[in-house]
Amino acid sequence: MSGCNSLGWGVRSGSALFALVFMVSVSMAQMPDNLMVVVPNYIATGGPAVGAFGYDPTTDTLWVAGYGGSAWIRKVTNVTGAQAFEEMVSPSEWVRFTKTNPSFSGGSPICGSLLLNPLTIFDTDGVTPLYPPYTQAWIIDANSVIGDLSSTKRPDLTKRVYRYNLQVPADFDASTVMTPLVTLQQMADVIGLDPPSTTSDVGRQFAWSSDGQSLYFNDGSSSYGGIWKVRVATGALTRIFAADAASSGPPPYVAIECEPCVLHTSVRDLDPDNPAVGDQILFRGSSASGNVGGLDYLVDTGTSVLGPYALFTEAELERFIQWNGRYLARPANPDETDPGVDVDKVVSISSITTLGGDIYFFETTGGAVWRLDGQGRLAVVMSKAQRVQYNTVLGASNVLQTTMLRLRFFRQAPYATITVPQFLFQDAASNRLVGGLLAFKTGDFNRDNNVDEADLALFKNMIITPIRTFYDAAKKTYYESPSDANGNDLIGDGPAYVEYLKYDLNGNGLVTARDRVMLWKFMYPGKSPCDFDLDGDVDQEDFGYLQACITGPGIALSDADCYFGLLDEDGDIDEDDVSLFATCLSGPAVPASADCLD
C-alpha cells in the first residue's frame, strides 16, 4: 500500500484547464478548452490502462480499476484538489478472487465497469437497508473462463458480476471484500444454454436502475447477446432483450456492443403517446431490433419489458452526420485521382449516458460525443478532431484510438465565471488516464453561458474559412480540411485550428452550412433556417437577402454577413442554394417549417 500527492487536476478556472501542459512541450493554446486531464495515469493506475472507474460525490473520491491481470484497484481522494491515491486491491489478490483457486487457469480481470451504488440498497422486503449509498461497488468482468486442475471449463466459477465492499481497508484478502453476484453458468441457466458457451462479451459499463436496486448490462456475444438485468440484493437475473445470433441476423449483422443507460419516464418520456411508465433503457440499435446504426430503447415497467422502440434511426442521425473531413478520408482511385465521393459509413453508438433529460452518446465511426437535448436537438459536444488534438498534446502514441469512453457525469465544474457540466471519460489513447469533458451549451462559442448575437457574430466569421481538399500521399487518401490564407491545411496553425473546431457542431472537423442549420435551431427555435428576417414566414423579403448574396458556382463566399445564404455544402451561394430555399418557401404571413432543410 502506498500513497502519492499530485497537482490538483480538477477544473477550478479557465486558466486551470491547462495545468496539464507542464507535462508536455506543446503550447497550451493547442489544447481544446472542453477537454482536460482529471486524473493522470501515475495516480489513476500507475501504469496499466484504465479499465473502469466510479465516483463518490459525497467524499470527492474516485475508485479506479486497471485493465488486465497486472492492474490494481486504486482509491483516489480529493479528486478536484490535491489528489492522493491508495492501492486497495493488489493484482495478485484480484486474480486470486477471480480464479477461486490460484492453480486454476483463466480468470485474469478484464474490468469493463466499476460503479458505486448511488442510492441505499434494500433487502427483499424493500424496507431493511443493506448498503448505504456509495459504500459498495459493482464490477462487470469479462475475464476468460476458469479452467480447473483437470482443465475442465468451469462457467460456475467464472464471475461476471461481483460486489466490492469499499468500507474494508486495503491489504485484505480479496475474497473478504469481493462477493460474486452473477456467474457465466447463471447466465447460461437463465436462457437455457446447455452446455454453456464459453464465449461471452460483457466488457462494458452498466447502468443503474432509477430506483438503485438493479443494474442493466449488455452482452455483445452471439450466445449471450442482449440486455440483462440483475437485482443486486438477491442476484435475480433476467435477459430482458435477446440479440439474434450472428448467423441469423440480416446483413450487416451488428451485435449490441454498447454501454447502456437509463432514463426514467418521469424525467423525460421518450414517447409521450406510450402510457408505459418506468425505466427507459437506451442502447445501440442492432440487427435484432431492425434498427442497425440507430438508437433504441426498452421500457421496463417493473412488471413487464416493452420494446424495443427506435428513438433514432441511422437515416435520421445521418441528417446531421457527414462522412468527410480530416479523419474520415476517402481512398484515392487506383491512379491516385480523387474519386470525389465520400465513403458511406455505418453509425455505431457505443457509450450512452444522461444528465437530466439530455442524452449524451459516443458515436465511434465519426468519433464524436453528441448531445440530444430535451427539445430533440442534436449537436456535438466533443469531436474526433478535438480528441486527436487533446491526445497529441498529451503525447499519446495512437491519437486515433477509439474506445468505449465510459462516459459518466462528474460535476458542475467552474470555468471562468460560469459552471459547466463535466463528464469523466476513459480514452485508451490518452496516456491511460481519466479525462474530463466540459459540455458547453451548443452555440456558446464565447463561453459566457449564453447563446446570443455575440456568438452568432463569431460563427459567421468562422464559416467563411476556406475548406480545401488535400491529398495524403502516404495513405493515398483525400480529405477536406480548413485552410489558411495561403491555402495550407489550418492544422499547421495550432491555436487557430483549435479555435476553429469549436464551431463544428456535427463532428466532422469542418464548419459548413449543416452546422449553420444546426446552430439556427438553438439560436431561433421554431424558425425556418430560411426565415432570414425572423418574421415567421419565408417569402420574397427573405429571397431578397439570398439574391443579394449570390456568388455564383465555385466562388467561395467571403462576405460574413451573407452566411445565412449558405444552404448546401459547397461554400458558394448559387442556384443550388436557391433551389433549397424554394423548398422552405411559405409565402407572406404563412408560418414556415423549421425543419424544411432537414
Residue 418 lies in a domain: no
Q: Is 412 part of a structural domain of the chain?
A: no
> Could you tell me if 230 and 217 are in contact, meaning their C-beta atoms sit under 8 angstroms apart?
yes
CATH assignment of the domain containing 588 = 1.10.1330
Domain count, the chain: 1
Set of cell numbers at residue 83: 489528489
Q: Can you give the length of the chain in residues?
A: 598
Dump the DSSP string for 38-53. Answer: EE-HHHHTSSSPEEEE
Q: Which residues contact 260 (CB under 8 A, 6 or more apart)?
A: 206, 207, 216, 217, 218, 227, 281, 282, 283, 352
| pLDDT tens-digit profile, the chain (598 residues) | 333 333 333 332 333 333 333 333 345 568 999 999 999 999 999 888 899 999 999 999 999 999 887 788 999 999 999 999 999 999 989 998 999 998 999 988 999 999 999 999 999 998 999 999 999 999 999 999 999 999 999 999 999 999 999 998 876 777 889 999 999 999 999 999 999 999 999 989 999 999 999 999 999 998 999 999 999 999 999 999 998 655 444 455 567 889 999 999 999 999 999 999 999 999 998 877 889 889 999 999 999 999 999 999 999 999 899 999 999 999 999 999 999 999 889 899 999 999 999 999 999 999 999 999 999 999 999 999 999 999 989 888 778 777 778 999 999 999 999 999 999 998 777 767 899 999 999 999 999 999 999 999 999 999 999 999 999 999 999 999 999 989 999 999 999 999 999 999 999 999 999 999 999 999 999 999 889 899 998 989 988 988 898 988 988 888 888 888 888 878 888 898 899 989 999 889 999 898 888 7
- Lay out the sheet containing 207-208: strands in order across: 207-208, 214-219, 226-231, 237-242
Question: Nine-digit cell at 287?
Answer: 440487427
Written as one letter, the residue type at 399 is: V
C-alpha cell read off for 416: 471562468
8 Å CB contact between 229 and 237: yes
597 belongs to a structural domain: yes
Grid cell at residue 264: 426514467
Quote the CA–CA distance of 108 and 95 in Å, as a whole number: 6
- Residue numbers of the domain that contains 562: 527-598
**Residue 138, H or E segment:** strand 136-141
Whether residue 559 lies inside any domain: the answer is yes
Q: Residue 537: inside a domain, yes or no?
A: yes
**Does residue 236 belong to any structural domain of this protein?**
no
Q: What is the rounded distance in angstroms from the CA atom of residue 181 to the CA atom of residue 160? A: 8
Alpha carbon distance 509, 583 (integer Å): 28
| 534 found inside a domain | yes
User: Amino acid identity of 335?
Assistant: D
Q: 589 lies in a domain?
A: yes
Distance CA 426, CA 31 (A): 17
- With CA atoms as reference, report the closest residue to 225 among 251, 256, 253: 256
Which residue reads 471562468 in cell numbers? 416
Block residue for cell numbers 424544411: 596
Distance separating alpha carbons of residues 455 and 445, to the nearest angstrom: 6
Residue 463 · residue 511 · CB < 8 Å: yes
